[in-house]
A and B are shown apart, each in its own frame.
Chain A
């Protein structure tokens, strides 16, 4: 805005001796309304004038009709939700079924071949047993496990998801679901970060960047952990097959356990809304809140670019953080099972110490310890549980020794080990609940810290679901024991 001669004539010239601050104050008091708004209006007016002279839009009409038709379908009362559910079912199906083969290949390569090969190498190099245990049984094995279980699903899920995003469909999902999130005090775009959370919570937390309103973004970050992530699906499916499927006749078992897993995932969605509602009305009340949702025009996704960015920005980024945390934690797992104090390993002491609390929650000390030392990734919780169960029940002939996490080929064998470890149906049910409702993995907690730049929010994000998990499992155990 430059001062024009007219405005000068209209009394802008300061009287002799009037200092420049007084002058500016006097001029400003004469402006009706808000200066910032006048600037925005002037900018838009100028931009509009220039654009109308300089920009031509060939083919705009046809595009607009195409967009409008597509919008009418994907946001219609009849087709909006079925299209959405269908697409996401397809993505999950592709992820789960597509990840099986590469996961098995990676596991075979890294755990099946790489692990014994490294062992031999270390023996040949004359490394002492404790060092071999710490580095190869502990650090390498945990990391190899995380990579082989985590990498393939993410490498499929993230590119598919990013393609939908690039095409312009995801903002329409947020548009369709906004009313639901609005009731809970959240933003429609949280639908996207939640769905991303089903792939990986750390990536889901990063995805909340698209929510531009501070309060709603914090809500999305703090509740993302209730989206059952990729690393927890195998635990759910395994435990449901072993303990829930066994409750009904064999030909219903598959259906029944699948329903139980879906139920847990839906319970997570329920907790997302309930917690969002609670947070927005209590501790987040004073945070700034605005809403806006742009619906960009549809465009053909840039396939290779999408593939590249989703692999680098999301998959490798998350994987790298997981590896960084898996290394020390692998060492910790091995050390806890092999360091002995008073004739028993540290892990056994910890299990005995945690047992009273674990049993009160309908779980046991092994599970609680596994969730503490397997904090880098939910993927290694079951292998750690198996190793600790064998260790504390002094079983022989199963697994690879103290501190070596392992997986068994069939659910029946796992069931045998767990039952020998004192597990009941209640333990199975509560493990499923606790797997949904516990602190996020260390990768996610660290990501929350990086995103919010606040240790306070990171601590709340970790402790809130943990507290809910303790309360829910304790309640279930109480009711279960009262009824049986």
Chain B
């Protein structure tokens, strides 16, 4: 009897461990091979980004990007070479067509997923990148295409990076570092680097988003003062290095100074809508557009609720209540203020 129980126990343990596909061993092997695949894909992605930006990739830069030791990075490159994904043939590390295809898909999946999180969910902005880092290895090319179709074939992700077309080219990062923009020159933020995570979170807390317009008010070695969408923002030059901007020549500093947000309007005052802030995305943005907060609309602040928030605004003949954090998203040029 005892022997029988022992045998049954051993049998059960073996099954638990060694069952094809669902046993612990099989699961472990699967997880290990998935981890190896993820690392290969991350490496190819790094190579593609280096190639697009014209900076040569080395095993050193790869190690830095993936957090690997020198030996590990070299081993990874040998593995990629053996699979015919990269080659050293021209004297420098270069992607082979198969490797480029995988890398492009991973970048595309990542940016599409970030776009999806921004447009179709309420997931907090600081988590987008990390979730997309995981999802980029799970989406198949067909799923990525379906996602792109559902999102209306977007051209850029929420950080301002271009989403490559399948089989297309990865374009180089747009714009120049914010630190290189001259003081007083109007600019538009075009890109925010989402790594490292803590610096990115700090940028989000400052409320900076791609698409915002402003100019540098002044700079010292310790700080950069920006005028951006109707307010002043101060950040460290090392943080500013994570931001890229494009110079604007059709906009004057006076235009930017005259910009305010709907939240600044006292009851009884009017303003003309210039546009919606880039920090307002997805369903929220579409809702504001549908309500008539489009460039050219004249908005009058009417009255605040007894608790002070929300406030009722008259826009295109309708009375609409907005909360303060929404009103902050509507950029206006103050018009002739009507006495309250």
Residues of A within 8 A of B (CB): 25, 28-29, 35-37, 40-41, 44-45, 48, 68, 71-72, 75-77, 80-81, 175-176, 178-180, 182, 188, 212-213, 215, 285-297
Contacts and interface: CB of A to CB of B under 8 A. Distances in A.
A212 B320 CA distance: 14
30 contacts: A25-B165, A40-B290, A41-B294, A48-B316, A72-B303, A75-B303, A75-B305, A81-B306, A175-B312, A176-B305, A176-B306, A178-B309, A178-B323, A179-B309, A179-B310, A213-B283, A215-B122, A285-B122, A286-B123, A288-B282, A289-B284, A290-B284, A291-B284, A291-B310, A291-B326, A292-B320, A292-B322, A294-B291, A294-B320, A295-B320
Contacts of A48: 296, 316
Query: Which of A28, A45, A292 has most chain B Cβ within 10 Å?
Result: A292
Contacts of B289: 36-37, 40
Contacts of B121: 286-288
Nearest to B188: A32
Contacts of A37: 276, 289, 294
A28 B309 contact: no
Given A44-B297, A75-B305, A178 B321 contact: yes
A144 B62 CA distance: 76
Contacts of B253: none
Contact of B318 (A77, A285, A287, A294): A294
Report, nearest first, the 10 A-B pairs whose CB atoms are least far apart.
A179-B307, A293-B321, A295-B319, A80-B306, A290-B284, A40-B289, A41-B294, A289-B122, A286-B123, A77-B306
Given A80-B306, A179-B305, A295 B316 contact: no
B308 interface: yes
Contacts of B303: 71-72, 75
Given A44-B296, A286-B123, A293 B320 contact: yes
B196 interface: no
A48 B165 CA distance: 38
B309 to A, nearest CB: 5
Interface string B280-294: 001110111111101
Most chain A CB within 10 A, of B282, B287, B294, B305, is at B305
A286 B122 contact: yes
Contacts of B165: 25
A213 B283 CA distance: 9
Contacts of B282: 288
Q: Is the interface of A mostly helix, strand, loop or mixed?
A: helix
Contacts of B143: none
Interface of B: 120-124, 152, 155, 165, 276, 282-284, 286-292, 294-297, 302-303, 305-310, 312, 316, 318-323, 326
Residue among B276, B303, B320 with most chain A CB within 10 A: B303
A374 to B, nearest CB: 38
A292 B287 contact: yes
Given A71-B312, A75-B305, A178-B323, 16 more contacts: A36-B286, A40-B294, A41-B294, A41-B296, A48-B316, A75-B306, A175-B310, A175-B321, A179-B307, A179-B310, A285-B122, A286-B123, A288-B282, A291-B326, A294-B320, A297-B319
A175 B155 contact: no
Given A72-B303, A285-B124, A44 B309 contact: no
Contacts of A285: 122-124
Given A215-B122, A290-B284, A45 B307 contact: no
Contacts of B306: 75-77, 80-81, 176
A44 B292 contact: yes
B43 to A, nearest CB: 29
Question: Which of A36, A41, A80, A175: most chain B CB closer than 10 A?
Answer: A175
Contacts of A215: 122
A75 B309 CA distance: 12
A159 B60 CA distance: 74
Nearest to B124: A285
A295 B321 contact: yes
A81 B306 CA distance: 9
Given A288-B120, A288-B122, A176 B307 contact: yes
B159 to A, nearest CB: 15
B283 A29 contact: no
B230 to A, nearest CB: 19
Contacts of A288: 120-122, 282-283
Most chain B CB atoms below 10 A, which of A48, A76, A176, A290: A290
A285 B312 CA distance: 27
B152 A36 contact: yes
B49 to A, nearest CB: 20
A180 B309 CA distance: 10
A292 B305 contact: no
A40 B306 CA distance: 33
Contacts of A68: 302
Nearest to A21: B165
A196 B289 CA distance: 31
A210 to B, nearest CB: 14
A9 to B, nearest CB: 22
Given A41-B295, A44-B294, A288-B121, A178 B305 contact: yes
Contacts of A35: 152
A15 B168 CA distance: 19
